């Protein structure tokens, strides 16, 4: 069974540029999460989807971050414009039930 797939693995951009990350969850997993992980920290939730619906986006900085999950499968997380402080690893995860998350390899963003 294929795991959670994310792309790109690495992205280097200059500040104020836009960037987008893509995630394909495990087949059959209705719940999809985007987490942010800074070096030496645990993952922090940005947004959680149940099928197409964003059920918790309270931690998503909506002035520059947006996300979508069309058709309840793939998801895209966008940052526009990126700031220096956005440099981090963006993790996508999916689950069938609460808590048992399966993570993708992550997308490492460097903003110069």
Between 82 and 101, CB nearer to other proteins:
101
CB of 41 to other proteins, least distance (A): 5
Residue with tokens 């797939």: 5
Strand order in the sheet with 75-79: 5-7, 19-24, 75-79, 65-68
Between 41 and 80, CB nearer to other proteins:
41
CB of 11 to other proteins, least distance (A): 16
Which residues of this protein are in contact with other proteins, per CB under 8 A? 31, 40-45, 48, 55-56, 91, 95, 97-106
d(CA 77, CA 90): 9
Residue 51 token pair: 């099928």
Query: Radius of gyration of the chain from Cα atoms?
Result: 13
Between 24 and 95, CB nearer to other proteins:
95
């Amino acid at each position: 069974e294929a795991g959670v797939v994310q792309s790109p693995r690495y992205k280097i951009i200059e500040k104020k540029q836009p960037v987008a990350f893509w995630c394909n969850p495990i087949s059959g997993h209705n719940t999809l999460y985007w987490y942010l992980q800074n070096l030496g920290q645990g993952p922090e939730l940005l947004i959680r989807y149940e099928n197409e619906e964003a059920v918790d986006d309270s931690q998503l900085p909506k002035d520059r971050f947006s996300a979508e999950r069309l058709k309840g499968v793939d998801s895209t997380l966008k940052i526009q414009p990126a700031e220096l402080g956005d440099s981090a690893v963006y993790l996508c995860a999916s689950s069938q039930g609460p808590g048992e998350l399966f993570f993708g390899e992550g997308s490492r963003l460097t903003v110069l």
